[in-house]
């Protein structure tokens, strides 16, 4: 059984979540972490039992023992980090958004294909058992033909507590932080998009703080999406079909259950996650590298690129 050495790029909250999750991933070893601050890297390594702490990203890229780099740096750094990791011969799992444009993401995928390496956007929502169950219910015809989908991820963010989210130089804004989740739900549960319209409220720092989006899918379904920082709304998704409804009424971005409504009855499927949910994407990633029979990477290249176009308003 092959073991994989993981290198974690960044020491923020999401990097910590992945470091914790890797303890639940068979055949994974938390090998190294890198930060632009050696002090932060050493503290992070001590907390999570990581063998090597590097005070620069280049040191991690140059470590020949590393098989997979998990990129958890600010959004605006992702493209350069991905391309450098690929050039160093590492497979890459990169936090969403992969880059800040579909063109940049396509460039990264092309580099990975040329190098014969695996590159996946770490959109954890798509890998949850509950979300995969929802996709299965749609594909198996349990609700008939999807007709209407509603997905909201509107959650108040204080600019003093989260200055990076309001900084355009760091790739801030509601689209880059929260927009991918409703869009992912729409693509996974209602299919490819034919056309889109959106309305945006821009804040004083120049980033988008509230967005409402309407999608018309190729199968004729319509999605209504909302994401933003200014107020609180239930983080929920509902897809209505010709003969039933699927609902994740709470925290659909890390779902633990999904409910099927049909013929006057409701059936809830409880599907707990492991490693706070982050473990599933790492397990899937390693399955592909080991040639294991895995149903799919549920957030493939095509969806990364389509989501990026939609987020940019060019879908």
Query: pLDDT, tens digit, for every residue of 62-71?
Result: 999 999 999 9
CA nearest 187: which of 166, 161, 155, 213? 213
What is the model's pLDDT at position 1? Answer: 64
CA nearest 271: which of 145, 82, 140, 129? 129
- Give CATH for domain 129-272: 3.30.360.10
Is the distance from CB of 30 to CB of 278 less than 8 angstroms?
Answer: no
Using CA of residue 251, residue 191, residue 295, residue 291, what is the dihedral sign? negative
What is the model's pLDDT at position 201? Answer: 96
Rounded-to-integer distance, Cα 167 and Cα 161, Å = 12
Please report, rounded to a whole number, the percentage of residues in the chain having pLDDT higher than 70.
Answer: 97
Strands 208-217 and 222-228: antiparallel
**Is the predicted pLDDT of residue 21 greater than 60, yes or no?**
yes
Can you state the percent helix, strand and coil of the chain, rounding each to 5? 40, 25, 35
Report the chain's mean pLDDT, rounded to a whole number.
Answer: 95
Whether the domain at 4-122 and the domain at 129-272 fall into the same CATH topology: no
Q: Which residue has the higher pLDDT, 293 or 286?
A: 286
What is the model's pLDDT at position 298? Answer: 76
Could you tell me the two tokens for 105?
A: 């993401």
Interval 26-49 mean pLDDT: 97
Interval 168-174 mean pLDDT: 92
The correct CATH number of 4-122 out of 3.40.50.720, 2.40.37.10, 3.90.650.10, 3.40.50.300 is 3.40.50.720
Interval 16-35 mean pLDDT: 97
Could you tell me the two tokens for 109?
A: 């995928």
What is the model's pLDDT at position 295? Answer: 58
134-146 residue pLDDT tens: 999 999 999 999 9
What is the model's pLDDT at position 291? Answer: 86
230-276 residue pLDDT tens: 999 999 999 999 999 999 999 999 999 999 999 999 999 999 999 99
What is the model's pLDDT at position 312? Answer: 86
Rounded-to-integer distance, Cα 237 and Cα 187, Å = 12
Q: What is the CA radius of gyration of the chain?
A: 19
Interval 266-289 mean pLDDT: 95
Domain ranges of the chain: 4-122, 129-272
In order of 90, 110, 244, the CA distances from 301 in angstroms are: 18, 11, 30
Decide: residue 158, CB within 10 A, 0-12 exposed, 13-18 middle, 19+ buried: exposed
Could you tell me the two tokens for 215?
A: 């999608």
**Is the predicted pLDDT of residue 299 greater than 80, yes or no?**
yes
CA 38 and chain centroid, separation: 28
Helices (H), 22-128: 38-48, 57-61, 78-87, 102-115, 124-127
**Is the predicted pLDDT of residue 315 greater than 60, yes or no?**
no
Rounded-to-integer distance, Cα 98 and Cα 120, Å = 8
Report the first-to-last Cα separation within the chain, whole angstroms.
Answer: 42
Residue 29 has phi, psi (to 5 degrees) of -125, 125
Edge to edge, the sheet with strand 222-228 lists 193-202, 208-217, 222-228, 146-154, 237-241, 245-248, 257-262, 265-270
Confidence of residue 50 (pLDDT cuts 50, 70, 90): very high
Residues 6+ away with beta carbon under 8 Å from 237 = 149, 150, 151, 152, 182, 185, 189, 247, 248, 252
Rounded-to-integer distance, Cα 148 and Cα 98, Å = 28
Interval 183-201 mean pLDDT: 96
**Is the predicted pLDDT of residue 314 greater than 60, yes or no?**
no
Lookup result for tokens 């509950």: 130
Which one from 40, 79, 90, 96 is the annotated catalytic residue?
Answer: 96
Q: Examine the residue annotation and report whether 96 is marked as an active-site residue of this protein.
A: yes
What is the model's pLDDT at position 296? Answer: 60
């Amino acid at each position: 059984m092959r073991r994989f050495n993981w290198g974690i790029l960044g020491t923020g909250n999401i990097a910590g979540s992945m470091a914790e999750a890797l303890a639940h991933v068979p055949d994974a070893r938390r090998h190294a972490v890198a930060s632009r601050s050696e002090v932060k890297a050493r503290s992070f390594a001590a907390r999570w039992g990581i063998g090597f702490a590097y005070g620069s990203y280049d040191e991690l890229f140059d470590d020949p023992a590393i098989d997979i780099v998990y990129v958890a740096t600010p959004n605006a750094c992702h493209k350069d980090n991905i391309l450098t990791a690929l050039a160093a011969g590492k497979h890459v799992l990169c936090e969403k958004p992969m880059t800040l444009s579909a063109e940049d993401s396509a460039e990264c995928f092309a580099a990975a294909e040329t190098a014969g390496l695996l590159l996946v956007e770490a959109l954890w929502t798509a890998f949850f058992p509950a979300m995969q169950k929802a996709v299965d219910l749609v594909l198996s015809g349990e609700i008939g033909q999807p007709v209407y989908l509603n997905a909201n991820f509107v959650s108040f963010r204080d600019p003093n507590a989260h200055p990076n989210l309001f900084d355009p130089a760091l790739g801030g804004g509601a689209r880059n932080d929260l927009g991918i989740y409703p869009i992912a739900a729409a693509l996974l549960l209602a299919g490819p998009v034919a056309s889109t319209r959106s309305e945006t409220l821009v804040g004083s720092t120049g980033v988008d703080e509230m967005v409402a989006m309407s999608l018309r899918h190729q199968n004729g379904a319509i999605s209504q999406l909302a994401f933003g920082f200014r107020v609180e709304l239930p983080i929920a998704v509902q897809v209505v079909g010709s003969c039933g409804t699927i609902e994740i009424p709470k925290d659909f971005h890390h779902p633990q259950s999904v409910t099927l409504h049909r013929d006057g009855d409701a059936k809830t499927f409880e599907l707990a996650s492991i490693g706070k949910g982050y473990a599933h994407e790492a397990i899937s990633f390693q399955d592909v590298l080991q040639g294991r029979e895995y149903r799919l990477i549920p957030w493939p290249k095509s969806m990364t690129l389509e989501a990026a176009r939609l987020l940019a308003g060019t879908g």
